[in-house]
Amino acid sequence: MQTGTNSTTIHPVVPAPFGRRAESHYLKSPSIRFPAMLRWQRFGAGFSYARLLRRFALAVPIALAFAGGQVALGQLTTEVLIGDSVSDLGPRYSDIDEAIKRFANRDVLGARQFLEAALRKNPNLPPVDLLLAKMSFLTGDAASGLVALERTASENPGDPEPFIILADQAILQGQTIPADALYDRAMELIEKYAGNAKRKRSLEIRARSGRSLVAERRRNWQLAAQDLMALLQLDPENANAHYRLGRALFMQNKPKEGLDEFVKANQIDKNLPNPNVAAAMMYEQLGQRNEAKSAFETAVKADRNDVKTLAAYAQWLLQTGDVARAETALAAARRVDPENLDILILSGAAARMAKKMKPAEDYFVAALRLSPSNAAVINQLALLLIDQPDEQKRQRALEFAKINALLQPNNAESNITLAWVLYQIGNNREAEAALRKGLQAGNPSPDSNFLIAKILVDQNKPDVAKQFLNYALESDTGALFLLREDAQKLKEQLGGP
């Protein structure tokens, strides 16, 4: 299982709040799949439960990718364009096929003519300008898409879809207020819509999915649950809606009902987390650690060979400081799947937290063999090797750090790691430049804040160092903080608040 990445931020996969990155997946994919348990994009930077849940909680079916994504022209098909409106795709929609070909050849007028012909044959199809808008958005021409949407709204004022598309774009851009108003307007029009029943159902599913996301953003769990329940009346087999509903119910202090929804979600889609794992992560998010522990133990006992469950359990154990138990869980996972990238990375993290540097190095090297461009692994190897006395290993650390900084010139973790490595070898001038660049990038991980604090202490700036230590130790992102114990010791040495 290979998971290459161009970022040093880890994105695992279990319950938590929503965020922009995950929402982009919600808005860009009709059917998100999860081939790996974890998506690592910032290791030692932010192994976050919050990010982990987003992958599942926001995997909401949506008909098209026009909200912010772009597809290759070869992926623009009749099914993508009108599959939400008709069921019997085939030769009878050859006009749509031809319209797509004309559009691909930049013959928009010709595409319009074929779309008009298709609409004459089947009045249940969406308006012509709406189809042109979809094609424009899907191929990255947002300006033309907006013009076509304006025409649609003007000539077909009762059609809800322009408002849904604009709402999707707004929520993707973090504009919750306009998204809320647009989804509400779409729902008003859907209630009055008397056209194609299949299309009406699809539009309502999308509108309720989006509107519930607005409610989740605002932590209005009751309102989110209402929309998700209504969505499930339309689409009872929607696994992701069941999962999101489970989360909303947990957040309303209804754990039994929430667990029931997690069970339904997992029954429909085995790629979603084990229900007890999902419940455990929700308990942890709610500060109920004993309940989280019990739920995790139930999940592990149910299937001791489930690598995803063992990975989630080990991650939670590391997060809560129980490194020894985490190592035991990871050893069990490696016996089942010794070449699992996520397990190898977690194993490296556990070994590093336990100060077992050689095993940590071995695990990360094995992970790098599976995923040579994995920025998280490269970052960890740089930090590991620079702390060793062997000069060849220290040189490799510098090479790794420089590679990451070149690949990710605007990434906080890559630049702060490079600064730390340069500082350790005595190149203070370049270290200062890399550190400035990392700080300008913003949002350093707890581990990076700790490294900054160590540099500042060495420069006899203890008061400023304390600030960065506090940032690290008081972080509430749910990030896995590999060097927490070292940071706590340094804070005690410095004294004061």
Angstrom distance (rounded) from CA 419 to CA 132: 50
Q: Is residue 168 over pLDDT 90? A: yes
Tell me the residue length of the chain.
497
Q: What's the average model confidence in pLDDT over 285-301? A: 97
Q: What is the pLDDT of residue 188?
A: 98
Mean pLDDT, rounded, for 142-149: 96
DSSP state of 87: S
Q: Given this model, what pLDDT does residue 19 score?
A: 32
Grouping H, G, I as helix, E, B as strand and the rest as coil, residue 297 is helix
User: What six digits make up the tokens of 458?
Assistant: 């060495």
pTM: predicted TM-score of the whole model, two decimal places: 0.81
Residue of higher predicted confidence among 478 and 243: 243
> pLDDT band at 75, cuts 50/70/90?
confident
Q: What is the DSSP letter of 42?
A: B
pLDDT band at 88 (very low <50, low <70, confident <90, very high): confident
Tokens representing 273?
């987390």
Percent of the chain with pLDDT over 90: 79
Domains of the chain, start order: 236-302 (1.25.40.10)
Taking residues 134-163, report their average pLDDT.
95
Does residue 51 have a pLDDT over 70? Answer: no
Three-state secondary structure call for residue 270:
coil
How far CA 321 is from CA of 46, 264, 327, 446, 482, in Å, comes to 16, 32, 11, 15, 10
SS3 (DSSP) at 103? helix
